[in-house]
């Protein structure tokens, strides 16, 4: 290898990913070095191993993995990169855990612009630095044109949770309160607004955010009272609560007037024929909390910027049919059922 070859930089402005960037040779080393290592830079990654080795502290380990295929890749308030960081951090955090490290796997379509890849990597780097959760290992594959849609990202996260703190889906009990951390539907509507065949103008931006610090504040406020936490992503609030109802063998009763929905989101959903209860969120959480501590947890949430608009939206009830029921703003009753089919494809 001549020195000149080694120093040749990627043409990030005009270049495109080709099959050689995934072939394991020098081109791949350039791509990883100039784009990913530069964006994610940290001690563990810099060692250049095929894995990251780190010490673990006491408690239980939490691990999760998630694939990201959102279309379009860039949307108001985020992109596939920041989403891949926030989403996985949140899945770790929903166990009440402190997220420690992330891995990132990329499947890139031949012909994908290097400039876009860099933009995505930089956004991931920024999101992970802001969250204090470094990306310490990764993988890169390139597939032929037409075999993927730009880029797909898979991130895995690990974290630790104190041994005595157990949040789990089967722990909702009749009488518990349902807390929601803020406005629903922002992410789904923001992504939808950018779809090529649907583009409409809106001021709505995705709520994509890492929630682990909000979770830490809630845990600190009332560790004994937290039963379950979930982030209502795909399928929205409705899907998450229906899952919990099944897993805990309970029902829910919600108050429609208490569910925070921005007027812009309500209007966009009206136009598109969507129900905001089914629209994806990427920076919201639902907590099932013992009734007596609900106000304490709510206060802790509202004291955090990501929980400023938190609200108690309903309660857990005994119900053999595991229905999620809602008292409508109109005064009647309805079920908030499982979603049939898909409402919005490829939202995350």
Partner 1 sequence: MKYMDEYRDGKIARSIAAAIAAAADPARLYHFMEFCGGHTHAISRYGLEDLLPGNVRMVHGPGCPVCVLPIGRIDMAIRLAQRPEVTLCTYGDLMRVPGSHGASLLRAKAAGADIRMVYSTLDAIAIAQAEPERQVVFFAIGFETTTPPTALAVKLACARRLTNFTVFCNHVLTPPAIRGILEHPDLDGVEGPKLDGFIGPAHVSAVIGSDAFAEFARDFEKPVVVAGFEPLDVMQAILMLIRQVNDGRHAVENQYIRAVSPQGNRIAQAEVAEVFELRESFEWRGFGAVPASGLRLREAYAGFDAERRFAMPEISAADNPACECGAILRGIKRPTDCKLFGTLCTPETPMGSCMVSSEGACAAHWTYGRFRDHARRAVA
Q: Which of 43, 144, 270, 292 binds partner 1 (CB under 8 A)?
A: 270
Question: How does strand 251-255 pair with strand 324-327?
Answer: parallel
Nearest distance from residue 234's CB to partner 1, in Å? 17
* Options 62-70, 90-98, 204-212, 334-342: segment touching partner 1 (CB under 8 A): 334-342
**For residue 119, how many other CB atoms are within 10 A of its CB?**
18
340 interacts with partner 1 by CB under 8 A: yes
Question: Can residue 329 be called a binding residue for partner 1 (CB under 8 A)?
Answer: yes
Among 242, 332, 346, 348, binds partner 1 (CB under 8 A): 332
- Residue nearer to partner 1 on the CB measure, 19 or 266: 266
- Is 321 a binding residue for partner 1 by CB under 8 A? The answer is yes
Shortest distance in whole angstroms from residue 111 CB to partner 1: 20
Q: Contact, 287 vs 314, CB < 8 A?
A: no
Segments of the chain assigned E as strands: 60-68, 74-75, 78-79, 98-109, 135-143, 151-161, 177-180, 226-230, 251-255, 286-289, 311-317, 324-327, 333-335
- When asked if residue 267 is in the footprint of partner 1 (CB under 8 A), the reply is yes
CB 301 within 8 A of CB 214: yes
**58 binds partner 1, rule: CB under 8 A:** no
Query: Is residue 328 part of the contact set for partner 1 (CB under 8 A)?
Result: yes
Tell me if 246 contacts partner 1 by CB under 8 A: no
Query: Any contact of residue 334 with partner 1 (CB under 8 A)?
Result: yes
Counting beta carbons within 10 angstroms of the beta carbon of residue 23, is it exposed (0 to 12), middle (13 to 18) or buried (19 or more)?
exposed
- Point out which span in 91-99, 124-132, 150-158, 317-325 binds partner 1 (CB under 8 A): 317-325
Radius of gyration of the chain from Cα atoms? 21
303: helix, strand or coil: coil
Q: How far apart are CA 199 and CA 196, in angstroms?
A: 6
Measured between alpha carbons, how far is 177 from 132 in angstroms, rounded to an integer?
31
Stretch that binds partner 1, among 178-186, 203-211, 224-232, 323-331 (CB under 8 A): 323-331
Q: Give the footprint of partner 1 on this chain (CB under 8 A).
A: 197-198, 257, 263, 266-267, 270, 321, 323, 325, 327-335, 337, 340-341
């Amino acid at each position: 290898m001549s020195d000149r070859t080694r120093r040749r930089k990627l043409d990030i402005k005009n270049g495109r990913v080709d099959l050689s960037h995934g072939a394991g040779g020098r081109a791949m080393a350039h791509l990883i070095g100039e784009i990913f290592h530069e964006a994610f830079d940290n001690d563990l990654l810099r060692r250049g191993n095929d894995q990251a080795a780190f010490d673990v502290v006491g408690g239980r380990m939490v691990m999760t993995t998630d694939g990201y295929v959102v279309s379009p890749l860039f949307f108001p308030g985020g992109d596939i990169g920041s989403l891949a960081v926030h989403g996985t951090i949140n899945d770790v955090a929903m166990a009440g855990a402190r997220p420690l490290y992330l891995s990132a796997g990329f499947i890139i379509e031949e012909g994908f612009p290097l400039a876009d890849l860099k933009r995505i990597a930089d956004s991931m780097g920024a999101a992970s630095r802001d969250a204090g959760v470094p990306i310490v290992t990764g993988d890169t594959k390139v597939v032929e044109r037409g075999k993927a849609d730009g880029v797909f990202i898979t991130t895995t996260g690990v974290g630790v949770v104190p041994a005595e703190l157990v949040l789990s889906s089967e722990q909702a009990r009749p009488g518990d309160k349902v807390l929601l951390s803020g406005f629903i539907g922002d992410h789904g509507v923001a992504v939808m607004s950018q779809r090529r065949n649907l583009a409409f103008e809106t001021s709505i931006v995705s709520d994509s955010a890492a929630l682990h610090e909000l979770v830490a504040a809630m845990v600190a406020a009332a560790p004994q009272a937290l039963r379950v936490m979930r982030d209502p992503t795909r399928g929205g609030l409705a899907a998450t609560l229906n899952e919990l109802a099944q897993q805990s063998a309970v029902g829910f009763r919600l108050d429609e007037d208490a569910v925070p929905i921005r007027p812009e989101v309500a209007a966009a959903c009206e136009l598109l024929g969507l129900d905001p209860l089914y629209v994806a969120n990427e920076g919201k959480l639902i907590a099932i909390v013992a009734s007596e501590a609900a106000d304490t947890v709510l206060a802790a949430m509202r004291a955090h910027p990501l929980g400023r608009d938190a609200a108690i939206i309903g309660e857990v009830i005994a119900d053999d049919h595991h229905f999620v029921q809602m008292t409508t703003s109109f005064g009647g009753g309805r079920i908030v059922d499982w979603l049939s089919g898909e409402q919005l494809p490829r939202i995350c």
